Amino acid sequence: MMFDLITEVEETSRAAAGSEPERQPAEPEPEGSVRAAEDGQEAEGRAEKQAEEKEKAKKKKPKLFNKLDKSIKSEIDAAEKLRKKGKLEEALKAFDSLVQRYPQSPRARYGKAQTEDDLAEKLRSNDLLQRSINTYGEAADIPDVTSDLLRAALKRRAERQQFLGRMRGSLATLQKLVDFFPDDFALRNDLGVAHLLLGDNKGAKKVYEEVLAVAPSNGFAKVHYGFILKAENKIAESIPYLREGLESGEPGTDDGRFYFHLGDALQRVGDDSAYYWYELGHKRGHFASVWQRSLYNVEGLKAQPWWTPQETGYTDLVKMLERNWRTIRDEALAVMDRGKGRFLPEEENLREKGEWGQYTLWQQGKRVGNACQGVPKTCALMDRFPEATSCKRGQIKFSVMQPGTHVWPHTGPTNCRLRMHLGLVIPTPGCRIRCTNQTREWEEGKVLIFDDSFEHEVWQEADSYRLIFIVDVWHPELTQYQRQTLSPI
């Protein structure tokens, strides 16, 4: 389980970060906003508190100017005014000139970085963004920089580094920040995320353990710590962290992944409150419905668990599969006979028990290595169906499942595909698949079609192996343009 945009990806791949044009999670509901009774006393107390907070805010106004900066304040202010007005080229010139004349002025350097940053945004230029990242770093490194400016410059630097996918750089920046401000939990929490984005769960775990040791009720740390425990398959242990973290309502906790994994953990320990969290995740805009919990979605696509071939429009493909099922089966069996080399065990931790192997021919719309050499006829048959072979958000694969296997209820990553299952070797009775509240059985030579973004679950309780051919196809309502441009999963 990687901490990027993808949640429980059954597959080993992940989507390119930052390229998701899809469903935006709704704004979180105001947490803990239980309205206080509007009586006079309460109002008075509130006013007092507001005044206090205002005072605090005033005191806390960041000090960005050091002594040298103050001595050239009018020039800095003039340049800043240009930046604020959006006259970015002029502002950059002004800040550049200041930096030339006062290389030791942190505020001038910071202004230059901000202007480059704004300009990068305006011109969509990664080069400029990289320049601003460098300049933020220079500003922070000038001796005599105020601690507020150092913090602001490095925070923005880390954020922009992450945006550019410079995860190692961002980690180093955040580590520096934490070293400067060891008591700031928010910075430590960001450092944890930087570790997670690098796939360094161990590093992240340590960070969150440190935060929780001093701030045991920190909701952000809790929910991330729970996420890490869940990834380590410490299911029961993860639950209170995920739950309490979500209950905290702290900024950064209202994320679909946390509802997803809390629900999943609860389902695995047999706790029905899973659906309370799915419902809440749905209400807060993370899931299309309680049953349909994929996180990489195109909005508005027809959504139903089971499909008929006619409904998909891919009737030629279904006919081809059902007419050629023996050819496809025999090729798969021949590969199995030669040893299980090409069948890889399912590794996404979806099984409660049992043995489940897959032999993948296409993934993310591309042939996998030389996999087709083992089953050339099957691949030649598939080659005529781009709705499947070009499906960048799916796979084409054989799936063999041994008796005594149970696959936990789970949900695929995206609503952009439908999943066809062609029965090849189906021992009866004992093999079944549930999708939402409907359970079906495979038949040899017959195709079942479901949308695996809906919760589904599989049992193999027969007395010999079950073999199926899985063909993912683009959701029929996706346009050609969407099929070409959606990021692969």
Residues that bind ligand LMR (CB under 6 A): 399, 401, 419, 433, 452, 456, 458, 468
The least distance separating ligand LMR from the CB of residue 335, rounded to whole angstroms, comes to 16
Kindly tell me which of 268 and 419 has the beta carbon lying closer to ligand LMR.
419
Closer to ligand LMR at the Cβ: 101 or 440? 440
Closest CA to 109 of 84, 83, 141, 86: 141
23 or 456, CB closer to ligand LMR?
456
Give min distance, CB of 12 to Mn ion, in A. Answer: 14
The number of residues making up the chain comes to 489
Q: Least CB distance from residue 412 to Mn ion, whole Å? A: 6
Smallest distance, Mn ion to C-beta of residue 452, A? 5
Q: 418: which DSSP letter?
A: E
Q: Which residues of 133-166 are buried (b: 16+ CB within 10 A; e: fewer)?
A: bebbbbbbebeebbeebbbbbbbbbbbbbbebeb
Q: Nearer Cβ to ligand LMR, position 154 or 401? A: 401
458 binds, among ligand LMR, Mn ion, none (CB under 5 to 8 A by kind): ligand LMR
Instruction: Compare residues 118 and 452 and give the one whose CB is closer to Mn ion.
Output: 452
From the list ligand LMR, Mn ion, none, pick the one residue 468 interacts with, judged by a Cβ distance below 5 to 8 Å according to partner type: ligand LMR
* Minimum distance of Mn ion from residue 419's CB (angstroms): 7
- Residue 290 binding partner per list Mn ion, ligand LMR, none, with a CB distance cut-off of 5 to 8 Å that depends on partner kind: none
CB of 464 to ligand LMR, least distance (A): 15
Least distance between ligand LMR and beta carbon 398 (Å): 9
Nearest residue to Mn ion, by Cβ distance, number only: 452
Contact partner at residue 222 from ligand LMR, Mn ion, none, CB < 5 to 8 Å by partner kind: none
Q: Give residue number: closest CB to ligand LMR.
A: 399
- DSSP class per residue in 83-118: HHTT-HHHHHHHHHHHHHH-TT-HHHHHHHHHHHHH
CB nearer to Mn ion: pick between 146 and 289: 289
For residue 75, the tally of other CB atoms under 10 A from its CB is: 18
Q: Rounded to an integer, what distance in angstroms lies between the CA atom of residue 111 and that of residue 328?
A: 65
Question: Angle 167-180/126-141 helices, nearest 10 degrees?
Answer: 20
Identify the DSSP state of 40. Answer: H
Tokens for 153, please give them. Answer: 């410059």
Distance of closest approach, residue 323 Cβ to ligand LMR, in angstroms: 22
3-state DSSP call for residue 272? Answer: coil
Site size toward Mn ion, by CB under 5 A:
1
Of the pair 186, 350, the CB lying nearest ligand LMR is at 350
Question: From the CB of residue 43, how many other CB atoms can be counted at a distance below 10 Å?
Answer: 12
Torsion, Cα 85 87 90 94, to 10 degrees, reads 30
Pick 250 or 452: Cβ nearer ligand LMR:
452
Tokens of 445: 């030579």
Decide if 456 contacts 434 (C-beta within 8 A).
yes
Binding pattern to Mn ion, positions 427-456, x when CB under 5 A? Answer: -------------------------x----
Question: Would you state the structure tokens that stand for residue 289, as one six-digit string?
Answer: 């419905």
Residues that bind Mn ion (CB under 5 A): 452
